[in-house]
Structure 1
């Protein structure tokens, strides 16, 4: 025996890395998407799923038992704008519904390379306008997302603000990818600690998303460089081992400088979007409870009783 004790996060990393190592230059985007769904896809827990079409954008209402329908969280999944789906993020959205006590609308926005920027942003904004048209007020709605989806949350908020539409009550950002130029110091300082996301891969995903639009510093592509004035309160969660750590820490600094309330939680020894592993990581369960408390507070909801 080697004497090495594998921690829960090490087991998660090994499972993710096995999939990443199976990909090569000949691996198609379709295969990557299937592998991603198989890796993360889970129907764990009990949640009601209702398909919808929101202004031409496919989506799903996901409701944990007892979830209220007079509040809504719009969710944009991660995956570098190229992989990820409502299937891969079903468990995470169901957990957020359970923790917050309200419905989650998973938005099936279009992906690159078939649909490059700004297709995903158009879909996200269309879905938000659709929810408003269903009779919910902006202060009864929150946005949430992880990785590229968290960056899309910010781009949507900026677009909504600039269109003079009412802004949602709050937003949750998990491991947000806010800088598609990958210029933060953590891309170097966390390179050895992050077992999954390295700068060359991140820049390749950015190029694939951008296509002929080559300005990665555009505020709607890399919202880290945007004027964040007027945005609603933000909850930012990130793992200390992530190469995209700077995308979160710098975002929090810039948001606060712009007068935005931004709560930053840096989770020790955690990896990219660790919240996707609630059955394996106690930190994921704790982070989801923190997300639920944040959403309940900003959506003016009472704490959920243990009997619900």
Structure 2
């Protein structure tokens, strides 16, 4: 569904301005190191207001460093496995814990935000191995697969989708649902909105994506067509219900649309929400802008319908 004919709120412009600032800083320093990029992208938490009545706990689950988000009164027998965005190389549990807290609160569950191993130090498939380790640990703790959902944004949206494919390859019982915000899926960069939305996306550029791909897959270019790296090439038969959200202004919009089409063709229950004028991962505006809060309410309504 496309949320059209809306005027972008003043509050929503905060995210566009932040992205433009990052883009300007990266352009001014084309030799920015990965360490510097990680510091820059940890500012991703700025647009998200602190969710009320949510507590946090650092932990290690399945050998992976994590932050738990526990809304007061939440059902701890239900868990969101949150994989953060950042091109597989930047972003962290710190930059994403508030968004994970908002999502957990809206759904009435707990959320665990992974600090998975990042590229280039740990290229594909290290991130999927971490997600599988956490999933196995949650199952071993007694949490039922149907009460676990994977969720992520951008590259983390890729991981939310592809980790379930990995679980299937491992013969594990699959989680109950998948949520992907502005997922970056196509490692071949063939989406039409990479060109048509280039003027409206304040963050993404093809050179930025190309650099992230080089760090993610290393020297083996054949991996751009591995379905675990590029889920648009995957088989979605027997896949869990899927919710996809994206912004109408972003260059990766076609990735979301194609994922929805692939899942629908496979007979999977898939929902696509595109909000006109919104930037990449606009739910980061949770608590600040009405567009983000409305989207989170739509996800919560979808989740509640699944529980019936």
Distance 1:30 1:174 in 2: 25
TM-score for the superposition, normalised by structure 1? 0.91
SS at match of 1:235: strand
**Residue 272 (1) aligns with residue 277 (2):** no
Q: Is the 8 A contact 1:190 1:243 kept in 2?
A: yes
Distance 1:38 1:188 in 2: 27
SS at match of 2:12: helix
Q: Is the 8 A contact 1:181 1:203 kept in 2?
A: no
Displacement of 1:10 in angstroms is 3.1
Distance 1:49 1:43 in 2: 15
Q: 1:124 aligns with which of 125, 128, 131?
A: 131
Deviates more, 1:41-50 or 1:252-261: 41-50
Cα deviation code 1:166-211 (max 9, x no counterpart) = 0011110100111111101111111122122122211221111111
Q: 2:32 aligns with which of 27, 31, 37?
A: 27
**Residue 37 (1) aligns with residue 45 (2):** no
**Aligned residue in 2 for 1:75:** 82
Structure 2, gaps ≥5 residues long: 1-7
SS at match of 1:172: strand
User: 1:209-248 to 2 correspondence within 5 Å?
Assistant: 209-215=216-222, 216-248=224-256
Q: Is the 8 A contact 2:12 2:291 kept in 1?
A: no
TM-score for the superposition, normalised by structure 2? 0.91
Q: Is the 8 A contact 1:142 1:295 kept in 2?
A: no
Distance 1:274 1:43 in 2: 13
- Compare relative contact order (CA 8 Å, sep 6+) and give the higher one, 1 or 2: 2
CA RMSD of aligned residues (A): 1.7
Displacement of 1:153 in angstroms is 1.2
**Aligned residue in 1 for 2:3:** none
**Aligned residue in 1 for 2:5:** none
**Aligned residue in 1 for 2:294:** 286
**Aligned residue in 1 for 2:106:** 99
User: 1:38-77 to 2 correspondence within 5 Å?
Assistant: 38-41=43-46, 44-45=50-51, 46-77=53-84
**Residue 14 (1) aligns with residue 25 (2):** no
Distance 1:166 1:6, change over 3 A: closer
**Aligned residue in 2 for 1:306:** none
Distance 2:78 2:16 in 1: 35
Q: Is the 8 A contact 1:36 1:83 kept in 2?
A: yes
Q: Is the 8 A contact 2:116 2:127 kept in 1?
A: yes
Structure 1, gaps ≥5 residues long: 302-308
Q: Is the 8 A contact 1:70 1:140 kept in 2?
A: yes
Q: Is the 8 A contact 2:44 2:96 kept in 1?
A: no
SS at match of 1:81: coil
Q: 2:264 aligns with which of 256, 261, 285?
A: 256
Distance 1:168 1:146 in 2: 18
Displacement of 1:25 in angstroms is 2.6
**Aligned residue in 2 for 1:305:** none
Q: 1:180 aligns with which of 187, 198, 203?
A: 187
Deviates more, 1:74-83 or 1:15-24: 15-24
